[in-house]
Amino acid sequence: MVSLVQNFLPWSFLGVVVMFEIALWTSTRAAFLGFVVSGAMWMSAFGGALLPADGRPADLVVVQHNFSDENADPAGTVRVLMEVQPDLIGLEEITREIHLPLRYRAVFGTVGLWSRYPITEAEPIDIKPHGLQAEWRRGLRAVVRGVVIYVVHLPSVRMRLGGFDTAWRDDSARQLGARLRGERSPVLLLGDLNGTVDDRGLRPITRQMTTARTGFAWSFPAAFPVGRIDQVMVRGGAATVVWTLRATGSDHLPVAARTRFGTSADI
């Protein structure tokens, strides 16, 4: 249950609003102090998302999207993904042939990477959670212009009689975290992680990687997004801004980001 609450921490600003209303209504010193303290805590944790984006040019413009195996408008989805003229597109839940106007691609199982630049290495990775018997191919590793690219889809979390079940997702996150620790080149992670960066179950990943401080880019569910579970994360570089694109035929919104790797990669 703690993991569930952590995914909605940015929405705690509603509590700050309530504290402000109480302070206005009661006009007491304690109420105003409560508002100031709660507001300062929220700004410290999430205020960076309100800052203006870094205006410097990006090395790589990337898009991350759970395409959805029930997507009824694949052609329209492709048009949306290409609107930002991305250099890289990472997709999950691929169950059909997808035609993207990017020259290079690598697809393994239900995940794929499309690139404007040559993909010099590409291989599937095994991050299947222990105890899962079904066929499960949801990870790939590739190299594009000196940057190691991971495209992954972690297991979904489930509400069960015993509560919020994250065991398979957390196991997959630990396996992915171990792989990331072994990389020596700059790394770019694109994926549906089925959790926000505040979720403690993803700490094996988030302790090593960073994402943009600007923009909330809530991506799920598409009809009324309440959190970003689709992530663009980097190590050995920076994601300068992240934002969502307009809705597609998926139940997720696409997430786009501008990333920089400087001289640490052959960009």
Distance CA 229, CA 152 (A): 12
Nearest to 254 by CA among 56, 93, 141, 139: 93
Distance CA 128, CA 250 (A): 24
For 205-230, what is the HEC assignment? HHCCCECCCCCCCCCECCCCCCECCE
Distance CA 176, CA 170 (A): 10
Give the pLDDT confidence score for residue 207 in this predicted structure.
96
- pTM for this model (two decimals): 0.81
Q: Is the dihedral of CA 100, 102, 103, 105 positive or negative?
A: negative
Give the pLDDT confidence score for residue 5 in this predicted structure.
44
CB 154 within 8 Å of CB 113: no
Q: What's the alpha-carbon Rg for the chain, to the nearest Å?
A: 19
Q: Is the dihedral of CA 191, 266, 177, 150 positive or negative?
A: positive
Extents of the domains making up the chain? 2-50, 60-264
The encoded tokens of residue 110 equal 């239900």
Give the pLDDT confidence score for residue 212 in this predicted structure.
84
The encoded tokens of residue 25 equal 């209504």
What is the SS3 assignment for 46? helix
Q: CB under 8 Å to 76, separation ≥6 — which residues?
A: 248, 249
Q: CB under 8 Å to 178, separation ≥6 — which residues?
A: 204
Q: What is the DSSP string of 108-153?
A: ETTEEEEESS-EEEEEE---PPTT--S----EEEEEETTEEEEEEE
The encoded tokens of residue 83 equal 């609107």
Sheet of 255-260: strand order equals 104-108, 111-115, 88-92, 60-66, 255-260, 238-244
Model pLDDT for residues 7-65, shown as the tens digit of each residue: 445 544 455 455 555 555 676 766 555 555 555 554 555 544 445 555 566 789 999 99
Give the pLDDT confidence score for residue 132 in this predicted structure.
87
Distance CA 87, CA 257 (A): 11
Nearest to 55 by CA among 240, 257, 260: 240
What CATH superfamily is the domain 60-264?
Endonuclease/exonuclease/phosphatase (3.60.10.10)
Question: Which stretches of the chain score pLDDT less than 70?
Answer: 1-25, 27, 29-57, 159-164, 214-216, 263-267
